[in-house]
Amino acid sequence: MKNYELVCIFDPQVGEGQFEQAVERYKTYITDNGGEIVNVDLWGLRRMAYTSQSLKNRRQGYYVLYQFTAEPTFVEPMEQSMKLDDELLRHLVIAVEDEFIRVPQLMPEDYLKEQLAPPRRERPGRPGDRPDRGPRRDRDDEAPRREAPAEASEGEGAAEASDDSPASEKEE
């Protein structure tokens, strides 16, 4: 006898009562045909990563994990009967080499998104950063700065700064 895991995604439009019946139906199918159920995990209603025509354009499904032991000849007829089940959107049977891994309780869907998303933080300041105008561009590989035209440097600011300008002579 080998260890197997079967993951089933049931149609969410089946309803809560019929979903439980479908779970029990596969439990009894496994035990009636010589298999032994080790564990059944009901993952509940979960959002699927994608949808398609074969999934009946559903965005959610009831997930169930069956861990069982059975003879290798058992898997083929079981998969054939699962293909005919209208309540079942997808299924996957995997042979497990070692012992079963038990997950005591699944975490909520949003938990992973919160934990895996990097925290939003401000970029640390660098020595050349100016908070009012952005980072200073001092490197040679960037575009060169334009020089101000000569007449712009001789404007009002330059006249006030020089001591020998005509405006400063009139005030004396």
Domain boundaries, the chain: 2-70+77-98
Q: Has residue 52 got a pLDDT over 80? A: yes
Helix axes 16-32, 75-83, angle to 10 degrees: 150
Residue 143 or residue 75, greater confidence = 75
pLDDT for residue 142: 55
48: its two tokens: 């699927």
63 DSSP β-pair partners: 9, 44
pLDDT at 6: 94
The DSSP annotation for 5-28 comes to EEEEEE-GGG-HHHHHHHHHHHHH
Report how far residue 118's alpha carbon sits from residue 51's, in angstroms, rounded to the nearest whole number: 27
Distances (CA, A) of 171 to 78, 156, 164: 105, 16, 12
Class of the domain covering 2-70+77-98? alpha beta
pTM above 0.75, yes or no: no
